[in-house]
Amino acid sequence: MNSSKNSSGGRHQGKKKPQTNTDKKFEPKKFDAKKKPQTTTDKKSEPKKFDANKKPSGNFRDKPAFRRESPFSKKARPISGEERPTPKPKQVKQEDGVEGIRLNKYISNSGICSRREADVYIKAGSATVNGKLVTEMGHIVTLGDEVRFDGSLINQEQKRYVLLNKPKNYITTMEDDRGRKTVMELIASASKERIYPVGRLDRNTTGLLLFTNDGEMAKKLTHPKSNIQKIYHATLDKKLANSDLIKISEGFMLDEKRVIVDDISYVVNQPKTEVGVKIHSGRNRIVRRIFEHFDYSVVKLDRVIFAGLTKKDLPRGHYRHLTEMEINTLMML
């Protein structure tokens, strides 16, 4: 009797027809510079709306976050804000029991370069400790040691993280022999420590630019494998055709390399010359080159979000120091 019921039930289930929907039409997504970006799994035909000026809702300490690890890893678990300690330089001990840190970490902490780069410089003979050339990996530096890099004395500095809303007509460089205005002029009084721009923005591109003396952080935020997302607001010389928007969203070949954007949409309630682009590629002038490839010129380009940081309450030409929460968030990327 049981087998009869099961087989009967199977026949009834087999009669169900899959539901199909052929009435859906493609509608371009909308990019709203005045409304908050929302994430949803509801696949409706309504355009998505983004907010380029407001910070995503929610509190860093209220929502769990996951490390980018395999779901089968024991480490891939929710982490509350209270469990996120501020990373500290790893302390190692010499044979005589005196504590110190490795030379490459010491150089990295000074803001000169990353630890990996420091290893290369050390091996090349760029570092001395107490007047002696050091080329061995893993050399320990202790309190009171005199460390020089290329002949210049270096010291441990407090880490600084400064966010600038870059205006137009400033170039991203430490100095310019042609006398042009540089971004360093805008943050000259931000820190007594020497800080450096993370990545770069073109002279005519405006928006968010981060500065720091944390070599490890700068390396992570600019490395392609980190997939750091940026959102740009582009103003074009003519309306972006819907067919071109679709081609860009699907990906295309540029200089024999495939270009993939994370998202692209029109700005809501604005002419179709106003376009929002979310991208993680760090290729030089990539946003301008994307539109040039389809015969458009970018009249204005503004970076409104960088690695989760926004322009909210940050006027053009001004800067601010990152909060402890923002720094911790960057360290967890």
Cα dihedral value 97, 103, 107, 113, nearest 10: -140
The two three-digit tokens of residue 148, written as one number: 């020089």
Separation CA 83–CA 58 (nearest Å)? 18
Separation CA 90–CA 260 (nearest Å)? 38
Q: What angle do CA 92, 97, 103 make, to 5 degrees?
A: 35
CB 232 within 8 A of CB 281: no
Q: What angle do CA 314, 320, 321 make, to 5 degrees?
A: 145
Of 32, 51, 202, 263, the catalytic one is 202
Q: Is 51 a catalytic residue?
A: no
What Rg do the C-alpha atoms of the chain give, in angstroms?
Answer: 26
Buried b (16+ CB within 10 A) or exposed e, 127-150: bbbeeeebeeeebbbeeeeebebe
Catalytic residues: 202
